[in-house]
Structure 1
Amino acid sequence: MYHPSRKTSRMVKFSSQAKYISSISVLPDDLLLVIFQVVADDIYGVDEQLRLDCVALASVCRGWRSLVLSTSRFWMRLHMMTKFGALSREHLERNVMRSANALVDVVIYVAKPPDPWGQTGWSLVFDGAKTCLQVLRECSHRWRSLKIINEKDNHSGLFDFVLSELGLPHAPVLNEVEIICHSSGWITSLQESFQFLSTTYTPSLKMLKWEGCDSNILPGHFDASSLTHLSLNFLRQFSHTPASNSLVTFRNFLSCARNLVSLEVHRRVFLVEHAKTDGEVDPVILPALRTLSVIMGTEKPAYLSSILETIATPNLHHLAVHGDSLAWEEDGLIDFSSPAFFLGQDETPKFPSVCKLTMKNMLQSIHGPGKNMRSIFTAFPNVTEVVLDHDVREIADHLVMESYDEKAPPLWPCLQHLIIEMPPMTKFHYLPQLYEWLRLRRGCGLSLPAVVIRYGLQRAGVKEDARDLIVMRKIVNDATGYRASDTRKVVKQLGKLGALVDLRVESWTE
């Protein structure tokens, strides 16, 4: 039954609280700027849409407009999209003027043209791109970062055109360069290397990322001595010139990169058939390298061994290896005890300083796990954090079997964190082995690692910030289709051991 008194009491309560609610218009400018910055950062997050518009904030009222237009940091990101109707020299010039003398981040998105594309539209887009690039070149002395993105399956020639039209501008404070050519198999082949990357013009370059480009983009005499972060992901499927020894090119490139702190080597940086050496060449020493990531596609294990033989990293902290063992033949499975990988000729670890190890899709194949798995543990004696995926099943089995051997030294004695990233629809078959290993580990007097199990879910409505473990376990069970009671029992047992079990549902990607 409806009671008017209840409505009255709610109105009285609201009116008593209203005095604590202030209009945003009375906030001081400094606080407004903080709020605007958060909104602007969110707007800038989607490169493909390139929504620069702080204009939306400037259109609310006269006071906001004056505040936004007079604050240069809102105009430090200069976006350009090579799309019919989206190119405007005047728009770029206004934003360059509003950025005043601040350092700017340049993003150029090379959009795929409509089909069919008439000659008139072709000319307008190319002419518009040329004039806009001229505006960007004129302020190149203030470039802080440069990002060029080629839309997926865009073979219009615009990508090559943009790179050539950038020319050799003087960018003395340029710190970061990313060139991303999204591809599903076909690539944009460059006629010549990207000569823009020269120490004469970019002396402050620290971070360099190439993804999906033809390997010809790499300048032959590029000086990488200033780089601290490098990510290489080439595609070289089509070439009209005879291929040189690409491993030698890769080696020469790294030979002057002695200040590298982070190195990512993706697929096809060099051809496997070029990886054959006589074994007499000394590796390139990278003394500052702390993180090495090798992400392979369908490349054979020889690709990984060539990378590990090419460089020496005495201070490496994090080693990450991603493979595709389903593509390897039975006689091509990785022998982890081979000197080509993690152990030297004298069985000593090649990476004794590694504290964090990430291994994904390296053990499973239609023929079974890799050879001499125990070498994975003995090669990294000081590891404290390990990140695995579904291969943890093979790891857990091996850990349990080794733990029963009282004469064998404990494996991973310093381990503090075990993170397991499972793909959708994965069963929980490995949890009993994981529990048994932790039980045996505690029985040996070793500390128990914190266990974090993350599942990538393909379900709508799953919140990333879910906190209730009971709800999360139910979501995971529903998503995997595995409702057996022993799943909950095992997780409960892990907790009884004193181990920190964080069964966390997260959206994560490779």
Structure 2
Amino acid sequence: MAKPSSLAQYITLISILPDDLLLVIFQAVADDIYSTNEQLRLDCIALASVCRRWRSLALGTSRFWTRLHMVTRLGSLSREHLERNVTRSANALVDVVIYVARPPNPWGQAAWTLVFDGTKTCLKVLRECSHRWRSLKIINEEDNHSGLFGFVLSELGLPHAPALSEVEIVCHTSGWITSLRESFQFLSPTYTPSLKMLTLEGCDSNILPRHFDASSLTHISLNFLRQFSYIPTPNSLIAFRNFLSCARNLVSLKVHRRVFFVEHAKTDNELDPIMLPALQTLSIIMGTEKPAYLSSVLGTIAAPNLHHLAVHGDSLAWGEGSVIDFSSPAFFLRQDQTPKFPSVCKLTMKNMLQSMHGPGKNICSIFTALPHVTEVVLDHDIREIADQLVLESYNQIAPPLWPCLSRLTIEMPPMTKFHYLPQLSEWLRLRHASGLSLPAVIIRYGLQRAGAKEDVRDLIAVRKIVNDATGYRTSDTREVVKQLGKLGALVDLRVDSWTA
């Protein structure tokens, strides 16, 4: 009998909370309502169904109804539901999410008509409140080639969305592109004058209008797939350059693979880089792209105020003749050996130095080209960096490498060993002996065991995972940390669910 009474006690405590505190709790719940796919974890209607008081509070608070979620699936399309939420959101700005689901199987004519007609009706409701759009996210389900995605883009038409600041279009794919016959003309400063953030993932490059104006954008993430096209593709590197040429206000740029063909990067005439004076963060996610892809991106951009440079590659997939020579002017140094990006203070490099044919050439050029780095994030390729750091530290004539370094983060993916720790310890010892400050060292391990839970609180389990991931016995691992600690280095060993 104690258990029910205890539960009743908590219910009573909730019921006496003032309205403003209840609204704070409701807001926390509302922020977690929608997942990244079409599933709804909890609807605000559930809050409004508890009691009369909660219903009055929920229905009377417009910010709880500003997420207009639409799924193009039989049974999920409801014009009434969208209209009700549009009304309840009052005059507040709204976030629109459209999930384009795969059609039913078998895909009969009757189902086809119902889904397309329902989609058209719901999109009409959304268009009518486009003046209140704050963000727009369109997600195409993996390998959905029914034509619904293109239909959604065309039916959105050209509504005037003066408050729209963020557009994200994601086409989940396992290798087959979601091709488009027409560009998404909605992406135009005429209709979206306040657009600041644009994310295109897995899209056909034709989704962008031919003369897209990116002058208002501050954050761009591009991940094109260009294998198929209904329109003959011109030099894709030139198209990429033209895209950036008007993006003078860019603060953050993320370039994924296949934004342009590597073959198009081979131009007869040397082209001047595009000046991006406001750019502070540049991320290049290469995957298995050839090193020429990286050199073309870096050669296309001039960013005198760049603060964070991140490069992710897959050096194990590169051939012997493709190992990156970082001393080449195509990468981080100009012809006169001056740095291309002199203001970089944070460097992230992953899977860039390892290769079956040996480490990247002239690693020292990374230190020379980025002399003012204060924070570095590396992965298991640290072994090559560590070797070079130790060798250069013994050179009494050469200036110290990364003298301003204050934080070193090493992210270890599963199934890797960190045999670099002796070199790392030696480098820190030499650095300490030379009078330089020691950086904080953070070593993060990804969980290696398939059965390990995300929240590993058992100390024995933690030690076991550290042992598996590092190749050292627990006592040896503690000894390494102890030795580094004696040098005055702050070492933070973390075991969590991080993955590469």
1:166: which partner in 2?
156
Q: Which of 21, 37, 47 is residue 27 of structure 2 equivalent to?
A: 37
Q: Letter of the aligned partner of 1:502 in structure 2?
A: D
Q: Which moved more, 1:485-494 or 1:342-351?
A: 485-494
Q: Partners of 2:498 and 2:125 in 1: how far apart?
A: 39
1:488: which partner in 2?
478
User: Do the aligned partners of 1:392 and 1:420 also contact (CA within 8 Å) in 2?
Assistant: yes
- What is the DSSP-based 3-state SS (H/G/I as helix, E as strand, rest coil) of the residue aligned with 1:192? coil
Question: Where do 1:108-257 residues align within 5 Å?
Answer: 108-257=98-247
User: Do the aligned partners of 1:183 and 1:212 also contact (CA within 8 Å) in 2?
Assistant: yes
- CA displacement at 1:508 relative to structure 2: 2.6
Q: Which of 473, 479, 495 is residue 505 of structure 1 equivalent to?
A: 495
TM-score normalised by structure 1 residue count:
0.93
The yes-or-no answer on 1:477 pairing with 2:467 is yes
Q: Letter of the aligned partner of 2:180 in structure 1?
A: L
Render the CA deviation track for 1:174-207: whole Å, top value 9, x for unaligned: 0000000011100111001110011110000000
- What is the DSSP-based 3-state SS (H/G/I as helix, E as strand, rest coil) of the residue aligned with 2:397? coil
Q: Which moved more, 1:336-345 or 1:38-47?
A: 38-47
Render the CA deviation track for 1:414-461: whole Å, top value 9, x for unaligned: 000001111112213111111111111101111110011111214445
Q: Partners of 2:150 and 2:10 in 1: how far apart?
A: 58
Render the CA deviation track for 1:330-386: whole Å, top value 9, x for unaligned: 111110000000011011111110000000000001111111111011111000000
Q: Partners of 1:245 and 1:46 in 2: how far apart?
A: 35
Return closer, same or farther for 1:376/1:259 CA change in 2, 3 Å cut-off. same
User: Do the aligned partners of 2:380 and 2:418 also contact (CA within 8 Å) in 1?
Assistant: no
Return closer, same or farther for 1:276/1:349 CA change in 2, 3 Å cut-off. same
1:270: which partner in 2?
260
Unaligned runs of 5+ in 2: none
Q: Which of 395, 400, 409 is residue 390 of structure 2 equivalent to?
A: 400
Q: Partners of 1:365 and 1:147 in 2: how far apart?
A: 39
User: Do the aligned partners of 1:425 and 1:481 also contact (CA within 8 Å) in 2?
Assistant: no
User: How many residue pairs align between the two structures?
Assistant: 495
- What is the DSSP-based 3-state SS (H/G/I as helix, E as strand, rest coil) of the residue aligned with 1:43? coil
Render the CA deviation track for 1:223-278: whole Å, top value 9, x for unaligned: 11100000000001112432201111110111110000000000111111111223
Q: Letter of the aligned partner of 1:439 in structure 2?
A: R
Question: Where do 1:75-474 residues align within 5 Å?
Answer: 75-459=65-449, 460-464=451-455, 472-474=462-464
The yes-or-no answer on 1:28 pairing with 2:1 is no
Q: Partners of 2:206 and 2:99 in 1: how far apart?
A: 21
- What is the DSSP-based 3-state SS (H/G/I as helix, E as strand, rest coil) of the residue aligned with 2:119? helix
Q: Partners of 1:464 and 1:495 in 2: how far apart?
A: 27
Q: Which moved more, 1:425-434 or 1:121-130?
A: 425-434
Q: Partners of 2:446 and 2:306 in 1: how far apart?
A: 29
- CA displacement at 1:491 relative to structure 2: 1.6
Q: Partners of 2:328 and 2:176 in 1: how far apart?
A: 36
Q: Partners of 2:46 and 2:160 in 1: how far apart?
A: 33
Q: Partners of 1:44 and 1:59 in 2: how far apart?
A: 19
Q: Partners of 2:457 and 2:155 in 1: how far apart?
A: 48
The yes-or-no answer on 1:49 pairing with 2:39 is yes
Unaligned runs of 5+ in 1: 1-10
Q: Partners of 2:120 and 2:9 in 1: how far apart?
A: 56
Q: Letter of the aligned partner of 1:157 in structure 2?
A: G
- What is the DSSP-based 3-state SS (H/G/I as helix, E as strand, rest coil) of the residue aligned with 1:105? strand
Q: Partners of 2:212 and 2:390 in 1: how far apart?
A: 50
- CA displacement at 1:66 relative to structure 2: 1.0
Q: Partners of 1:467 and 1:252 in 2: how far apart?
A: 54
Return closer, same or farther for 1:466/1:227 CA change in 2, 3 Å cut-off. farther
- What is the DSSP-based 3-state SS (H/G/I as helix, E as strand, rest coil) of the residue aligned with 2:442? strand
Render the CA deviation track for 1:17-55: whole Å, top value 9, x for unaligned: x99996201111100000011111112244331446111
Q: Partners of 2:120 and 2:101 in 1: how far apart?
A: 15
Return closer, same or farther for 1:444/1:315 CA change in 2, 3 Å cut-off. same
Identity of aligned residues (%): 81
Q: Partners of 2:41 and 2:89 in 1: how far apart?
A: 16
Q: Partners of 1:20 and 1:210 in 2: how far apart?
A: 46
- CA displacement at 1:403 relative to structure 2: 1.1
Return closer, same or farther for 1:441/1:464 CA change in 2, 3 Å cut-off. farther
- CA displacement at 1:116 relative to structure 2: 1.8
Q: Partners of 2:492 and 2:223 in 1: how far apart?
A: 34
- CA displacement at 1:395 relative to structure 2: 0.7
Q: Partners of 2:441 and 2:316 in 1: how far apart?
A: 27
1:3: which partner in 2?
none
1:62: which partner in 2?
52
Q: Partners of 1:487 and 1:51 in 2: how far apart?
A: 42
Q: Partners of 1:67 and 1:339 in 2: how far apart?
A: 63
Q: Partners of 1:19 and 1:53 in 2: how far apart?
A: 26
Q: Letter of the aligned partner of 2:19 in structure 1?
A: D
